[in-house]
Structure 1
Amino acid sequence: MPPLLIDPHCHLLPGIDDGSRNIETTLALLRKEQEDGVQAVVFTPHFYYERMTLESFAANRQAAYRATAAACKQAGLRVAGRLGAEVYFSPGLLSLDLRQLAFAGTNYLLVELPTTFQPGGIGEVLFAIQQRGFTPILAHVERYPYVTEDPTLLYQWVSAGALAQINASSLIRSGQTAKMLQKYIRWNLVHLLASDAHSVDHRPPNLKDGYKALPPQAARRFMKNGEQVFWGNPLVPPEPVEPQYRFGQWN
């Protein structure tokens, strides 16, 4: 049996973050996921330790999920869902009950790093998360300029046990980012493909096109990885290769 096509990172729950604004948009986004062959999604609204309490976030997320489930049932949409979060990096996360932020029923935790600066202590916090029994998944690693400038950072985090996710849109667009991602794939530094969908027009679900842009072997591996993560099964990735800087470029 072929693996399920999973979208492990999307912002489709209505009215909870900068993703879907209402239930009508949520249904349109889920229809697009279904048309692309996606059979299950992890709903990952943004969580910011410094801006909201875990209790208020969990309550709002649950209400949005219930509304989504009821609307899908009425509309006849059959896409399996699991609750999670896109957790913005902060050392303060270690004071929280991470079980409420991890993908429901699993030990996987999606972590977003800052895109405008490199915070201190990334490796230490990721290690502490793992010591708590969770596997951090670094969200859209192509968006961090300090990783692009020095991919050995990503190598260090992955070698220490973190997983890394990339956005389909970054692969689909031609340019330097897509070329760099192909290197990440060759170095075994990334493991999951997601849509990170936010809206119908500007950031739509696009996993079908994203998988087409992957090398066939990587596409099969990423699809299997997505299913393993969704069901909470252990994921054993291939050994990462340390990037080498030669003649003015990373190889």
Structure 2
Amino acid sequence: MSSSFALSRSLRRTGSFPSARTVRIVILGQAAVGKTALAVRFITKRFIGEYDPTLETIYRHEVTIGGEAVIFEILDTAGQEEDALMVEEKIKWGDAFVIVYSVTDRCSFDEVMRLCFLVNHIHAAGGRRSGEPPPILIVANKKDLEFDRMVTPEDGETLSRGLKLPLREISVRDGWEETAAVFHALYSHVLQVLHSSPPSFRRRTGSRMMDKIPRIHSNSALTSTGRSFSFGSFRDLLPD
């Protein structure tokens, strides 16, 4: 079975939950830390190691968690320098955030604190009524590359305690379960916010900037035309 066919079948497998709760998750982090691999691993249960680092995509994935239908809208950001207004729009769009660094890249680790501050600052300025920060989970990826490690588990734990944010050290390459656990844990945090202070969790409005980002629906028949696609560019997954 070709890898392209296997992924397309996986993308088409899930059903539709019209009454499901929709949660918008933004994945942030420097380039090459594994943001796209994290999202695609969660959706397809497959690991793909190479992507076009300049692409940004919103994945729409429908699952059942604890007997409840959930729709994840996952924004995979490029992780490159860009216009401050666009960064702000992306953060305003999100309900919850995954901030990723690679244990093999000290610079990506050092970037986590700035990104956490940015998310909290923009949401606070946007008037979250509860006064609490939005749900954020830090992910330390590539723990399988132990011989290339530049950030120790203790470094991650110190950062987690300092920021008062949960951290999970995982290998997207080695395991689907711990990858899925990231999104399930973040969803649980979102539910806590909903139950404790519903007015603070309001649906983020769209914007023209966000509407320009390509969207991929995991339950869409994206390959109905019979065309193949490569993993070098996820533009090939988009309908004509």
Tell me if both proteins adopt one fold, taking TM over 0.5 as the criterion: no
Say which structure, 1 or 2, has more relative contact order (CA 8 Å, 6+ apart).
Answer: 2
TM (norm. structure 2) is 0.40
